[in-house]
Amino acid sequence: MRVVHSPLELQKLLKAEEGSIGFVPTMGALHLGHRTLIDTAKKENDITVVSIFVNPTQFLAGEDLDAYPRKEEADKKICELSGVDYLFYPSAESMYGEDEVSLNAPNVRGYIMEGTSRPGHFSGVLTVVNKLLNIVKPTKAYFGKKDAQQLMLIEMMVANLFMDVEIVPMDTVREKDGLAMSSRNAYLNDKERQESLNIIKSLRIATQMVMRKECSSVEVREAMLEALAPLEVEYVTIVNRAFEPIEKVEIGNTIILVEAISGSTRLLDNIWI
Ligand code: PAF
Please state, in angstroms and rounded to a whole number, the distance separating the CA atoms of residues 49 and 47. 7
Cα(97)–Cα(263) distance, rounded to whole angstroms? 35
State residue 230 phi and psi, 5-degree precision.
Answer: -95, 20
Nearest CA to ligand 1 atom 8: 26
Domain boundary (170, 205, 237) is at 170
Which structural domain, as residue segments, surrounds residue 202?
A: 183-272
CATH number of 83's domain: 3.40.50.620
What is the separation, in whole angstroms, between the first and last Cα of the chain? 39
> Which pLDDT tens digit goes with each residue over 190-233?
999 999 999 999 999 999 999 898 889 999 999 999 999 999 99
Has 31 been annotated as catalytic? no
Give the residue among 22, 40, 23, 46 at the shortest CA–CA distance from 170. Answer: 40
CA angle 164, 161, 270 (to 5 degrees): 85
**pLDDT per position as a tens digit, 35-83:** 999 999 999 999 999 999 999 999 999 999 999 999 999 999 999 999 9
Report DSSP state, residue 61. Answer: T
Domain check: are 118 and 248 in the same one?
no
Q: For residue 51, which atom of ligand 1 is closest to its CA? A: 8
Protein residue with least CA distance to atom 2, ligand 1? 26
Ligand 1: residue of 102, 114, 147, 181 to mutate (most ligand atoms within 8 A of CB) is: 147
Q: How many Å lie between the centroid of ligand 1 and the Cα of residue 208? A: 31
Give the tens place of pLDDT for each residue, 140-156: 999 999 999 999 999 99
Cβ atoms 219, 256 nearer than 8 A? no
262's CB contacts (< 8 A; 6+ apart) are 188, 192, 193, 195, 196, 231, 232
Who contacts 230 (Cβ-Cβ below 8 Å, separation ≥6)?
Answer: 195
Same domain membership, residue 242 and residue 150: no
Please indicate, yes or no, if residue 31 is contained in any of the structural domains.
yes
Q: Would you state the pLDDT for residue 43?
A: 98
Which residue puts its alpha carbon closest to atom 9 of ligand 1?
A: 125
Query: Does residue 125 sit within a domain?
Result: yes
What's the CA-to-centroid distance between 195 and ligand 1, angstroms? 26
As for ligand 1, residues whose beta carbon falls within 6 Å of it are 25-27, 55, 58, 125, 128-129, 147, 150
**What does the alpha-carbon distance between residue 204 and residue 268 come to, in Å, rounded to a whole number?**
15
